[in-house]
């Protein structure tokens, strides 16, 4: 019989861990007891490490019962990592679900000059690995490089907010059947010397020899992931992509040169669908020496800011379909590139504002007309205006596109699917991502924008023991205030102009999250 375990930042590892009133202190303690079908519910609090991973998953579930690590309902646990930590979360078990966490890296305490000095030391033969880890910490790694991977399979990472890690965001290396969905991944890979990206799948292995979809990356938002430090292997800047499918024509340890052993080639397909990738240093979506990839209904905007890659880039690949996407380049940038073979298929895409390396059947060069164009994660709105030429113009080939868009709206709404990650449905859409989730009780904030006093109207159930916390766009707490009336005023006159996040809590439980613009 499956067991539920509970973890709280105020718990104790001497507790039973089997109820929310008797939780463990650490996620690892709960993990070490799990078997197939068990769920570990993690409650509010910050779970951090300065040495080794916060969670090292080595146990496996089964096809009939995954082991699940999940935020407890109404809770938003945070995982932080700094110091001698290469991976905040390491997953080397199979049949695993990791769901609903915020992972926060140490970028705020790292400087470019120090990271460059660390790179220079390592490039000259240095081996101070415990120090290097702090400048290369990844958020989540499934499997791993060299002999670190235990060849995990059937792993799902969903509904997470992953940001500000000097290393990569969500990585799958030497794994199979990886699903990465509904995550917000931003400001990662800035200081690492190993050419990381926001979301990456590298050298998957064949757990079986099937040829259908085995790896899936869908419904993610990737913003401002980039590299600023050279890749120690090549001594130059590389990658920093929003999403990359990287090398599946050979196995990780296949050293057979330009003609890899075909027996090691990955047989499965990879689906990259309904993602929004904005302002990354490399491509929005990138495939390199990776075959059997379908890139369908994605939106890529203003990418290649560091290394100049196209918004969507297929490089040295076979059997790649790039269909129903929107590629809106930065000024002077490239939307796409010319295919090197006929098995790279472009069709029904929109290109705008940059160089078009290749235009396939039913591709058009035209402004897609987004609701609000911005590289800012909080301000950009890549829904389509009612007048958008992307509406009802995608390919409607059977089985090509998913039944829902990034917001869960049924696709198609018209005779054909729209191009890009969002399906227009002619009704106002409230953008809710992992950054902003609905709660049991909602407060009302007005006016918005605001210059001096922000009014906060609470529900009857919130009017006592309530608190407001204001955070800037980087998640830093700026102001806290108790709320003890149905309608309260908060003085924001001293805040700088810009966008802010508001967290309303009641009895130490988050009840609603909002945004306001300070004039």
Query: Using one digit for the tens of pLDDT, what is the confidence trace for 277-335?
Result: 999 999 999 999 999 999 999 999 999 999 999 999 999 999 999 999 999 999 999 99
Answer yes or no: is pLDDT of 378 > 60.
yes
Contact predicate 156/181, CB 8 Å: yes
Quote the pLDDT of residue 440.
Answer: 38
Quote the pLDDT of residue 427.
Answer: 55
3-state helix, strand, coil in the chain (%, to 5): 5, 35, 60
Q: Looking at per-residue confidence, does 105 or 480 come out higher? A: 105
Cα–Cα dist 7/411, whole Å: 39
Answer yes or no: is pLDDT of 368 > 50.
yes
Q: Which two tokens stand for residue 223?
A: 């913003």
Cα–Cα dist 318/289, whole Å: 8
Residue with tokens 């460059």: 116
What is the pLDDT averaged over residues 418-444?
Answer: 62
Helices (H), 124-261: 129-132
Least confident of 132-141, 198-207, 374-383: 374-383
| Bond into 159 cis (ω within 30) | no
Question: Is residue 255 very low, low, confident or very high in pLDDT (cuts 50, 70, 90)?
Answer: low
Residue with tokens 């085995």: 214
Quote the pLDDT of residue 434.
Answer: 38
Quote the pLDDT of residue 345.
Answer: 96
Burial class (CB within 10 angstroms; exposed 0-12, middle 13-18, buried 19+) of 500: buried
**Measured in whole angstroms, how far is the alpha carbon of residue 60 from the centre of its chain?**
24
Strand partners, 392: none
Output the average pLDDT for the chain. Answer: 92
Quote the pLDDT of residue 433.
Answer: 40
| Bond into 234 cis (ω within 30) | no
Task: Quote the DSSP letter at residue 465.
Answer: S
Cα–Cα dist 127/3, whole Å: 43
Cα–Cα dist 153/139, whole Å: 19
Across 416-426, b (16+ Cβ under 10 Å) vs e yields bbbbbbbbbbe
The pLDDT tens digits of the residues spanning 336-367 come to: 999 988 999 999 999 999 999 999 999 999 99
In Å, the largest CA–CA distance within the chain is 71
The pLDDT tens digits of the residues spanning 7-44 come to: 999 999 999 999 999 999 999 999 999 999 999 999 99
Answer yes or no: is pLDDT of 68 > 90.
yes
Tell me the pTM: 0.85
């Amino acid at each position: 019989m499956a067991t539920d375990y509970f973890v709280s930042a105020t718990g104790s590892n001497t507790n039973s861990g089997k109820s929310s009133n008797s939780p463990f202190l650490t996620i690892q303690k709960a993990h070490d007891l799990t078997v197939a079908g068990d769920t570990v519910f993690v409650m509010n609090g910050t779970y951090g490490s300065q040495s080794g991973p916060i969670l090292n998953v080595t146990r496996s579930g089964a096809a009939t019962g995954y082991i699940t690590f999940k935020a407890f309902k109404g809770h938003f646990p945070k995982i932080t990592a700094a110091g001698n930590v290469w991976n905040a979360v390491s997953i080397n078990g199979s049949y695993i679900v990791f769901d609903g966490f915020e992972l926060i890296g140490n970028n705020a305490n790292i400087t470019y000059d120090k990271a460059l000095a660390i790179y220079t030391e390592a490039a000259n033969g240095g081996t101070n690995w415990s120090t290097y880890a702090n400048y290369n910490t990844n958020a989540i790694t499934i499997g791993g490089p060299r002999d670190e991977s235990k060849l995990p399979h059937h792993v799902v990472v969903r509904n997470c907010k992953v940001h500000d890690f000097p290393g990569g965001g969500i990585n799958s290396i030497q794994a199979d059947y990886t699903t990465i969905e509904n995550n917000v991944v931003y400001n990662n890979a800035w200081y690492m010397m190993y050419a990381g990206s926001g979301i990456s799948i590298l050298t998957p292995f064949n757990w079986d020899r099937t040829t259908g979809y085995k790896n899936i990356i869908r419904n993610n938002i990737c913003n401002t992931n980039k590299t600023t430090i050279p890749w120690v292997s090549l001594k130059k800047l590389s990658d920093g992509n929003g999403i990359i499918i990287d090398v599946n024509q050979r196995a990780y340890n296949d050293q057979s040169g330009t003609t890899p052993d075909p027996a090691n080639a990955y047989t499965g397909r990879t689906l990259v669908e309904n993602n929004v990738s904005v302002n990354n240093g490399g491509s929005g979506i990138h495939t390199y020496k990776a075959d059997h990839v379908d890139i369908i209904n994605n939106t890529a905007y203003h990418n290649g800011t560091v290394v100049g890659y196209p918004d969507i880039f297929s490089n040295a690949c076979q059997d790649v379909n790039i269909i129903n996407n929107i590629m809106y380049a930065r000024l002077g940038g490239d939307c796409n590139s010319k295919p090197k073979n006929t098995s790279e298929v472009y069709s029904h895409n929109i290109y705008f504002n940059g160089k078009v390396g290749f235009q396939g059947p039913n591709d058009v060069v035209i402004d897609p007309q987004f609701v609000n164009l911005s590289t800012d994660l909080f301000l950009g709105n890549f829904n389509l205006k009612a007048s958008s030429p992307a509406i009802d113009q995608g390919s409607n080939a059977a089985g090509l596109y998913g039944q829902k868009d990034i917001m869960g709206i049924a696709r198609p709404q018209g005779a054909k699917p729209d191009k890009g990650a969002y399906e227009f449905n002619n009704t106002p859409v409230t953008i809710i991502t992992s950054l902003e989730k609905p709660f049991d009780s909602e407060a009302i904030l007005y006016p918005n924008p605001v210059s001096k006093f922000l009014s906060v109207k609470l529900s009857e159930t919130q009017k006592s023991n309530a608190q407001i916390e204001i955070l800037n766009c980087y998640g830093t707490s700026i102001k806290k205030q108790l709320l003890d009336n149905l309608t309260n005023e908060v003085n924001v006159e001293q805040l700088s102009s810009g966008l802010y996040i508001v967290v309303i809590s009641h009895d130490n439980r988050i009840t609603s999250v909002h945004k306001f613009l300070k004039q």
